[in-house]
């Protein structure tokens, strides 16, 4: 068995288990918990019809990544959702630095 890129967990960090209960327990932003609950209901309905657990496995993996993000940077998750709400409401938001500038600062030639 070989390690997969998605299986890498930095040493010394306390990442959630890849289980539905563990993932939901670390989601710090209400919007994440609401989306998780709605998505879980939808994927379980899909699994009931298709009898294919692949959709559930993909759901768990995608939400595990968000759960890890919640553990690593809970304030970043809150800022992300606040910015998304501003965009959806049509409010002006600062655009930040252009990607070309960010990549150039990292030494990436375009």
Q: What pLDDT was estimated at residue 55?
A: 97
Residues in the chain: 110
Task: Note down pLDDT in tens along the chain; length 110 residues.
Answer: 344 444 444 445 588 999 999 999 999 999 999 999 999 999 999 999 999 999 999 999 999 999 999 999 999 999 989 988 988 888 887 777 777 887 787 787 76
Q: How is the chain split into domains, by residue range?
A: 16-105
Structure tokens at 41: 């209901």
What DSSP letter does each residue of 54-66 carry, written as one string?
HHHHHHHHHHHHH
Which among 25, 56, 53 is positioned nearest to 39, based on CA atoms? 56
The three-point CA angle 65-68-74 to 5° equals 120
Q: What pLDDT was estimated at residue 101?
A: 80
Q: What pLDDT was estimated at residue 107?
A: 80
Contact yes or no for 16/64 (Cβ under 8 A): yes
Q: What pLDDT was estimated at residue 26?
A: 96
């Amino acid at each position: 068995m070989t390690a997969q890129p998605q299986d890498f967990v930095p040493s010394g960090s306390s990442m959630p288990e890849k289980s539905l209960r563990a993932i939901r327990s670390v989601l710090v932003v209400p919007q994440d918990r609401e989306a998780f609950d709605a998505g879980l209901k939808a994927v379980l309905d899909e699994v009931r019809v298709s009898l294919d657990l692949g959709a559930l496995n993909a759901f768990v993996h995608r939400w595990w990544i968000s759960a890890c993000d919640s553990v690593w940077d809970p304030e970043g998750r809150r800022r992300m959702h606040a910015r998304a709400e501003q965009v959806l409401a049509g409010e002006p938001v600062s655009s930040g630095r252009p990607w070309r500038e960010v990549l150039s600062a990292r030494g990436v030639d375009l």
